[in-house]
């Protein structure tokens, strides 16, 4: 656990969140500033600054994140209409919280991937 990291604190239950899912590898919780009807953040329980720090050794964690995203999409009733799973890395990626997280977004047409 990285002591000054808000997502580490959310994983540990030291900061409140609306939790969707938790197991030994990953935690999913509501984004505090939702940009779509469904906006869930899925994070590894272990601290990594971003996806670029994760690799083969984290294959199980990354696989779990993708699996949990699909489960939450189904549970939230957006699986058939479609959804998006994105992660931002670094300055040009627009990353603001430096604990790897994937945004699960859906519940409305999400438009183009990038603003033009
Ligand atoms: P990024 O820009 O790093 O990809 O996304 C960070 C996300 O974390 C943003 O969508 C932001 O709304 C969300 N966020 C920031 N602080 C908190 C918090 O304290 N709690 C929760 N649940 N989400 C947060
Ligand atoms: Zn962290």
Residue ranges per domain, the chain? Answer: 1-50+82-96
Two tokens, residue 21: 């899912």
Tell whether domain 1-50+82-96 is in CATH 3.30.428.10: yes
Give the pLDDT of residue 3: 93
* CB-CB neighbours of 10 under 10 Å: 20
pLDDT band, residue 115 (cuts 50/70/90): confident
Cα gap 89→74, rounded to integer Å:
27
pLDDT band, residue 2 (cuts 50/70/90): very high
Please identify every residue annotated as catalytic: 101
pLDDT band, residue 116 (cuts 50/70/90): confident
Query: Contact, 113 vs 16, CB < 8 A?
Result: no
Two tokens, residue 1: 């656990």
Residues with CB under 6 A from ligand 1: 6, 17, 29-33, 88, 94-97
**pTM of model > 0.95:** yes
The pLDDT of residue 53 is above 90: yes
Instruction: Give the Å distance between the CA of 29 and the centre of ligand 1.
Output: 10
Q: Which residues surround ligand 2, an ion (CB under 5 A)?
A: 2, 5, 7-8, 47, 99
Instruction: Give the Å distance between the CA of 4 and the centre of ligand 2.
Output: 8
pLDDT, the chain, mean? 97
């Amino acid at each position: 656990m990285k002591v000054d990291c808000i997502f580490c604190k959310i994983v540990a239950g030291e900061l409140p969140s609306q939790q969707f899912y938790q197991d030994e590898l990953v935690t999913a919780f509501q984004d505090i500033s939702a940009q779509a009807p469904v906006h869930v953040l899925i994070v590894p329980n272990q601290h990594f600054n971003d996806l670029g720090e994760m690799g083969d050794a984290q294959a199980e964690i990354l696989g779990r994140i993708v699996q949990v995203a699909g489960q939450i999409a189904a549970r939230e009733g957006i699986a058939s209409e479609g959804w998006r799973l994105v992660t931002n890395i670094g300055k040009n990626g627009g990353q603001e919280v430096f604990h790897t997280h994937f945004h699960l977004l859906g519940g409305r047409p999400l438009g183009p991937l990038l603003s033009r």
